């Protein structure tokens, strides 16, 4: 197998290549003056088994189109099999029609990725598991909760407790998984979305966090409101230090300030999103998955 | 038939709706805080014949993804037929593999538009006619050369001559078409692309433009270099006034300054690209085409 680093995930592709001892395919990419994407394989890939690494973090439309164009070219030029690793799978919010007439964005993404020739999709902590059902090809929803937890082992934790910021099944499974790696307790907050305003409120449930290091484990930080609300509750209840470990650190707008002001000591993301908070790599998770060790919650 | 205005072409869709006396479908669009596109039909479109109007000018990837998501929703919700009007068809440059290993971007766009359920595609002055062969569905490549020419009738032209800025067949056909509408002469310049640097040179061919109003008719202005070079040649040879009529006025960066400094008196684009140079509408061209009057060069 050979690895293709898409424009959004060059470093991650390099790490996967190093970990597995598999070569990176030489490619050339550029943008034309008008903004159109140009892609070219600099070597023959016909008959090869390929892994395209391209995360779909913002700007999602740009990164998705890049993936589509690379996929199309790989299939057109005779790749034998094409696996896609999109650690952050954009448009995973719209997984069902909450209102009549709505676009099923996740289904469009699935249809195009499959139609353009992907044989399997690997992703990390998808926001909504319903999205996985939209694929006919095998989809592996891996988790970064374990790798994030291992990162915090270096932080000299005192009596740690892992916190899921809401009580949805998937959030709780991730927290439980991280807690197991840390040999720690875990608990969850409750999050409610106002049906009319869409406003999310995190309820101040009683937690046993006094004088303990609390680690919030979540799949995504966008506006940072959920993390900040959770941190305030933990702070109010006497937590010693508060860490936020997140698979996809989108960190939009002034979210970092919001989170740090709420009392969080450190934000830790993964290289699912290429920014300064990518302190944990998802490369080992994918490397293990390709060897058959699928890490899931 | 009912008309859907995509985010890139709301005004154009309204004009088409007015011209044909066909209703606009009520839709709701927004961007989530993280940048993802949201689309919703506000009325039942099952069993309807639809026309989606969405031009793919820059940012092309954003406008293309919007089109894909709208198409997917329309098909999913049971539209009877779906026509797409994309006056500016992005990614029409990469129509063949000039170098081994290159992406056929135009083919990817064609495959996705068809795969997501379009029954026919209408476009305006495609940059490269090879692109049309990539579609299995009917594609109508209409021309705006006539509408652009008619605009200049209001400019009190003196002994006008239409100029194609290069001598490719398609460029000359457009110039000839515009000249016929204006009852004017036409001629063409010669453009050569350096095989190694990619640099384009317009040759100073002898033209009969002295004291005449010259109208450059082209499909696209991107960086403006071609138009500026052509204008300089026309100016040097004594043209009275120089107009630039263009189907797709992308007008990147400082192209407008470059063009105006070269001696062009007025730039006229169409609403294929929603900017201040959209002085001519392509709505009548599409309206006539839907009635069977296909305007082509």
What are the tens digits of pLDDT across the range A129-144? 999 999 999 999 999 9
Closest Cα partner for A220 from A56, A12, A43?
A: A56
In angstroms, the Cα distances linking B124 to B59, B109, B141, B175 are 18, 16, 6, 15
B115's CB contacts (< 8 A; 6+ apart) are A111, A112, A115
A91 contacts on B by Cβ (under 8 Å): 36
A35 contacts on B by Cβ (under 8 Å): 58-61
B82's CB contacts (< 8 A; 6+ apart) are B50, B51, B52, B71, B74, B75, B117, B118, B119
A33 contacts on B by Cβ (under 8 Å): 222-223, 252-253
Closest Cα partner for A171 from A206, A125, A140?
A: A125
A41's CB contacts (< 8 A; 6+ apart) are A25, A26, A27, A73, A74, A77, B101, B102
B146: helix, strand or coil:
helix
What the block records as the tokens of A53 is 């690494």
CA distance B119 to B224: 35
8 A C-beta contact, residue B37 and residue B66: yes
Q: List, as one string, the DSSP characters of A205-254.
A: -----TTSEEEEEEEEESSSHHHHHHHHHHHHTT-SEEEEEEEEE---TT
Per-residue pLDDT, averaged over A49-67, amounts to: 98
The strand pairing partners of B211, in sequence order, are none
Q: How high is the pLDDT of residue A192? A: 75
B61–A58 CB contact, under 8 Å: no
Q: How confident is the model at residue A179 (pLDDT cuts 50, 70, 90)?
A: very high
B33 contacts on A by Cβ (under 8 Å): 222-223, 252-253
List the single residue in B with minimal CA-CA distance to A101: B41
CB nearest B252 (choices: A34, A72, A250)? A34
- ipTM exceeding 0.90? yes
- Which percentage of chain A shows pLDDT scores above 70? 99
B101–A222 CB contact, under 8 Å: no
- Which percentage of chain A shows pLDDT scores above 90? 91
Disruptive mutation site among B30, B57, B61, B116 for chain A (greatest number of A CBs within 10 Å): B61
CB nearest B77 (choices: A72, A101, A112)? A101
pLDDT at A201 over 80: no
A61 contacts on B by Cβ (under 8 Å): 35, 37, 59, 61-62, 64-66
List the single residue in A with minimal CA-CA distance to B73: A103
B72–A111 CB contact, under 8 Å: yes
Q: How confident is the model at residue A93 (pLDDT cuts 50, 70, 90)?
A: confident
Q: How high is the pLDDT of residue B6? A: 98
B108–A68 CB contact, under 8 Å: yes
B60 contacts on A by Cβ (under 8 Å): 34-36, 65
pLDDT at A116 over 80: yes
List strand residue ranges (DSSP E) for chain B, in order.
2-5, 27-31, 37-41, 49-53, 81-85, 120-124, 139-142, 161-164, 185-188, 190-193, 200-203, 213-221, 241-249, 266-270, 278-280
CA distance B137 to B296: 18
Pairing of strands B241-249, B266-270: parallel
Per-residue pLDDT, averaged over A271-297, amounts to: 97
Residue the block writes with tokens 């709780």 = A172
Would you report the helix, strand and coil content of chain A in percent, each value rounded to 5?
Answer: 35, 25, 40
Per-residue pLDDT, averaged over A57-79, amounts to: 98
Domains of chain B (ranges; CATH) run 2-143+282-290 (3.40.50.2020), 145-280 (3.40.50.2020)
Q: How high is the pLDDT of residue B140? A: 98
How many CB contacts within 8 angstroms connect chain A with chain B? 145
In angstroms, the Cα distances linking B42 to A58, A102, B64 are 27, 9, 22
pLDDT at A195 over 90: no
List, in sequence order, the alpha helices (H) in B145-254: 145-152, 169-182, 225-236
Global confidence as pTM: 0.95
Residue the block writes with tokens 């209409």 = B142
CA atoms within 13 A on the CB side of A267: 27
CA distance B243 to B248: 15
Residues of B with active-site annotation: 191
B103–A64 CB contact, under 8 Å: no
B77 contacts on A by Cβ (under 8 Å): 101
Note the maximum CA span of chain B.
Answer: 60
The answer to whether residue A232 is catalytic is no
List the single residue in A with minimal CA-CA distance to B38: A103
Q: How high is the pLDDT of residue A96? A: 87
Q: Give the tens place of pLDDT for each residue, A213-235.
A: 999 999 999 999 999 999 999 99
A69–B105 CB contact, under 8 Å: yes
A62–B62 CB contact, under 8 Å: yes
List the single residue in B with minimal CA-CA distance to A78: B101
Using the 8-state DSSP alphabet, how is residue B26 labeled? P
Q: How high is the pLDDT of residue B206? A: 84
List the single residue in A with minimal CA-CA distance to B104: A73
B72–A104 CB contact, under 8 Å: yes
What the block records as the tokens of B72 is 């997917």
Disruptive mutation site among A8, A29, A33, A34 for chain B (greatest number of B CBs within 10 Å): A34
Using the 8-state DSSP alphabet, how is residue B158 labeled? S
Q: How high is the pLDDT of residue B294? A: 95
The strand pairing partners of A47, in sequence order, are none
CB nearest B61 (choices: A44, A62, A111)? A62
Low-confidence spans in chain B with pLDDT less than 70: 195, 198, 200
8 A C-beta contact, residue A245 and residue A216: yes
A58–B101 CB contact, under 8 Å: no
What the block records as the tokens of B112 is 């996705």
Per-residue pLDDT, averaged over A272-296, amounts to: 97
Higher pLDDT, A106 or A167: A106
8 A C-beta contact, residue B24 and residue B17: yes
A70 contacts on B by Cβ (under 8 Å): 103
B58–A35 CB contact, under 8 Å: yes
The total number of residues shown for chain A amounts to 297
């Amino acid at each position: 197998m050979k690895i293709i680093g898409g424009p959004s995930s060059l470093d991650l592709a390099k790490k996967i290549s190093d970990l597995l001892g598999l070569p990176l395919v030489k490619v050339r990419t550029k943008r034309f003056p008008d903004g159109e994407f140009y892609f070219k394989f600099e070597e023959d890939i016909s008959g090869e088994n390929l892994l395209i690494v391209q995360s779909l973090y913002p700007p999602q439309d740009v990164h998705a189109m890049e993936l589509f164009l690379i996929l199309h070219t790989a299939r057109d030029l005779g790749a034998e099999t094409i696996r896609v690793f999109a650690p952050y799978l954009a448009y995973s919010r719209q997984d069902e029609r909450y209102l009549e007439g709505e676009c099923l964005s996740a289904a469009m993404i699935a249809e195009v990725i499959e139609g353009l020739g992907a044989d399997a999709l690997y992703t990390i902590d998808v926001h909504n598991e319903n999205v996985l059902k939209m694929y006919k090809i095998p989809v592996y929803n891996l988790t970064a909760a374990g790798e994030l937890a291992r990162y915090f082992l270096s932080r000299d934790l005192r009596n740690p407790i892992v916190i899921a910021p809401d009580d949805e099944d998937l959030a709780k499974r991730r927290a439980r998984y991280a807690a197991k790696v840390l040999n720690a307790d875990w608990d969850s907050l409750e999050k409610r979305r106002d049906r009319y305003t869409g406003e999310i409120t995190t309820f101040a449930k009683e937690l046993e966090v006094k004088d303990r290091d609390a680690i919030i484990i979540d799949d995504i930080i966008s506006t940072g409101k959920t993390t900040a609300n959770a941190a305030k509750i933990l702070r109010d209840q006497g937590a010693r230090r508060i860490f936020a470990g997140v698979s996809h650190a989108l960190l939009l707008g002034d979210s970092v300030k919001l989170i740090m002001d709420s009392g969080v000591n450190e934000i830790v993301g993964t290289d699912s999103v290429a920014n300064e908070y990518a302190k944990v790599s998802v490369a080992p998770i994918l490397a293990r998955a390709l060897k058959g060790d699928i890490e899931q919650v």
